[in-house]
Amino acid sequence: DLILVAPAMNTTMWQHPATQRNIQKLREDGVHIVEPDAGEMACGTIGPGRLSEPERIVAAALQILKHASSQVVQDLAGERLLITTGATREELDPVRFISNRSSGRMGFAIAEAARDRGAKVTAVAGITTVEPPSGIEVMHTTSADEMQAAVSREISKASIFIGAAAVVDYRPVQRAV
């Protein structure tokens, strides 16, 4: 099963006929779609287009994994899953940094479900507030650059890659001393 989380986009883009045709085709091909939430967006418009809340994405992924795992218990045996999770942190100076409130819960939940279905799992974790599940390899990182370097080192070993981390959008050109 494949799940697609609709990215954040403005209302006009989400409601555009071409977008809706593509979404319908994906559904016909068996892809599960987590549609965007409605509300105020960064661009100031209001309507459907906001990235879904993490709890909703996790619930959809777990439902699909639960359904699939009840049918085929070890269908990921032999697969190597690489997943990013948690928040990255970009230092402004020795005291301050830019980050976000990602807990890592979604990435670790997916990692745990994949492990239970037989996959060998490696998680590249930024800053998290939840404990990683047992039985998975965890590589700890802090910044977006560190996370990217870790993924680059591990990606050739993976048969599945999921980017679930909440990577910071900005970083300073130069860290203050």
Query: What distance in Å separates the CA atoms of residue 41 and residue 7, rounded to the nearest whole number?
Result: 12
Which of 4, 31, 38, 43 does the annotation list as catalytic? 43
Considering only CA atoms, give the Rg of the chain. Answer: 18
3-state secondary structure of 82: strand
Asked about 43 being catalytic, the answer comes back as yes
Please name the residues in contact with 51: beta carbons below 8 A apart, sequence gap of 6 or more.
5, 6, 7, 8, 36, 37
List residues with catalytic annotation: 43
